[in-house]
């Protein structure tokens, strides 16, 4: 079995002012992921979380002016905003047999945005 939670870079990786409630909930999801991974490993169930960074969706680009979006893209080392398929590919991998030895992990999908 596989359990894959969708978290965010906001909270478990970095904080964002004005998003305290969101950051808290996404960080809590990572704690849940780690604890549950330990509880269900004996049943051959893996539990992981994916933490997307800036991803191009209507919810993240609606109402954002062009200058703000361009500033975000400049901060991403790979030079583009993420696509939903970037996240989906990681989820598909974690759901596969190839990821059977990965559990309790947070996989960041952000194009290097949070790399220091």
pLDDT profile of the chain (116 residues), mean per 10: 97 95 97 98 98 91 84 94 97 98 98 92
The predicted model scores a pTM of 0.93
| 113 carries an active-site annotation | no
Containing H/E element for 24?
helix 20-40
> Phi and psi at residue 36, in whole multiples of 5°?
-65, -35
First to last CA, the chain: 34
> Which tens digit of pLDDT belongs to each residue from 55-68?
999 877 777 888 98
Structural contact between residues 76 and 112, judged by C-beta atoms closer than 8 angstroms = yes
Q: How far is residue 13's CA from residue 25's CA, in Å, rounded to a whole number?
A: 13
Selected catalytic residue, list 16, 20, 22, 88 = 22
For residue 59, the model assigns a pLDDT of: 78
């Amino acid at each position: 079995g596989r359990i894959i939670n969708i978290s965010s870079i906001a909270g478990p990786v970095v904080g964002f002012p004005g998003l305290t409630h969101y950051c808290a909930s996404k960080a809590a999801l990572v704690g849940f992921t780690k604890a549950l991974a330990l509880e269900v490993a004996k049943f051959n169930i893996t539990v992981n979380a994916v933490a997307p960074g800036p991803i191009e969706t209507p919810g993240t680009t609606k109402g954002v002016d062009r200058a703000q979006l361009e500033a975000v893209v400049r901060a991403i080392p790979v030079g583009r905003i993420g696509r939903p398929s970037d996240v989906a590919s990681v989820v598909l991998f974690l759901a596969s047999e190839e990821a059977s030895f990965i559990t309790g992990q947070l996989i960041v999908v952000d194009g290097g945005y949070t790399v220091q």
